[in-house]
Amino acid sequence: LDTVAAQILCETLEIDDLSLVEVRSDTVSGAMAGSTTASRGTFQLGNAVIDAGRALAQAVEQTPGGLAALAGREFQGRYESTGTQADGEPGHVRSHVSYSFATHLAILDDAGAVTRVVAAHDAGRVMNPLLCEGQVEGGVAMGLGYALSERLPLEGGRLQSVKLAALGMPKPLDMPEVEVILIQGHDPEGPYGAKGVGEIGCIPTAAAVANAFYRFDGRARRRLPLDKPKREQQ
């Protein structure tokens, strides 16, 4: 988010480069609010940065001495979403202000192991292709963990292990090939047309693997992690 916010500010100020010192919010200086994370992060933070950047640009234009004369001043930006509401026929509602779409395809080998995942994502205007692709790849890794290996064993309501290594999270060498396809568009409410790609990177993956397993052995699986498929001997 930090990199994208800087890029959005540069776009707003119409400059090629800007030296920024990022100061993260804390419980002293930060307002009471939800975290600036997930799919809403780019959407809401980006729009707020545009608002602040426009205020700064106007001040620079109106101030003799330009930017240097504004040293020490603060410029704040604000963005409030328009909310979500039913739109159209039942079943076609806009449930989130930053709404994206994705299709994931899981490809198995002859033994039923996942060897490749193709993730096609509606991403609006992609501000930083490398970071966007990495975000989706990380989401796919999370989704494969849910699908194949991660467990959170409880006994009497207590965790049986508190070690991350025992929870089955996939390691880099466990990952199959991942192909990310970014389908660019323009969100009319997003910052310069961008959308967030937070949760959507991991949501479709387990379902894609479950459907691939079903196509492999004809058995529907209803629980995660999924049982590995075994093709019956002919």
Please state, in angstroms and rounded to a whole number, the distance separating the CA atoms of residues 81 and 47. 10
User: Does residue 135 share a domain with residue 202?
Assistant: yes
Amino acid letter at 31? A
pLDDT of residue 92: 65
Residue of 206, 207, 198, 202 whose CA lies nearest to 96: 198
Q: For position 25, what pLDDT does the model report?
A: 67
pLDDT for 133? 95
Which pLDDT value is given to residue 234?
47
Asked if residue 77 is part of any domain, the answer here is: no
Q: How far apart are CA 134 and CA 36, in angstroms?
A: 19
Catalytic annotation on 74? Answer: no
Long-range contacts of 95-98 (CB under 8 A, 24+ apart): 96/39, 96/40, 97/40, 97/43, 97/44, 97/189, 98/39, 98/40, 98/42, 98/43, 98/44, 98/187, 98/190, 98/195, 98/196
Could you list the pLDDT tens digit for every one of the 234 residues in the chain? 888 888 999 899 888 776 666 666 677 766 676 777 777 888 888 999 999 999 999 999 999 988 889 988 989 899 887 766 666 666 666 667 777 889 999 999 999 999 999 999 998 999 899 999 999 999 999 999 999 999 888 889 898 887 888 888 999 999 999 999 999 999 888 999 998 888 889 999 999 999 999 999 999 999 999 999 987 654
Q: What total of structural domains would you count in the chain?
A: 2
Q: What is the dihedral of CA 162, 168, 173, 178, to 10 degrees?
A: -120
In a domain, 83, yes or no: no
Same domain, 130 and 40: no
Residue 213 sits in the same domain as residue 110: yes
141 in a domain, yes or no?
yes
Residue 234 included in any domain: no
Examine the domain organization and report whether 127 and 66 are in the same domain.
no
- Are 49 and 137 found together in one domain? no
Q: What is the model's pLDDT at position 39?
A: 77
Structural domain contains residue 130: yes
**Residue 117 and residue 166 share a domain:** yes
What is the domain extent for residue 46?
Answer: 2-70
Residue of 61, 189, 199, 232 marked catalytic: 199
What confidence score (pLDDT) does residue 83 get?
Answer: 63
Identify the CATH number of the domain in which residue 127 sits: 3.30.365.10
Q: Are residues 115 and 203 in the same domain?
A: yes
Q: Is residue 120 part of a domain?
A: yes
Residue keyed to tokens 């920024």:
20
Residue 141: what pLDDT? 97
Burial of 184 (0-12, 13-18, 19+ CB in 10 A): middle
Q: What is the structure's pLDDT at 55?
A: 96
Indicate whether 176 belongs to any domain.
Answer: yes
DSSP 155: E
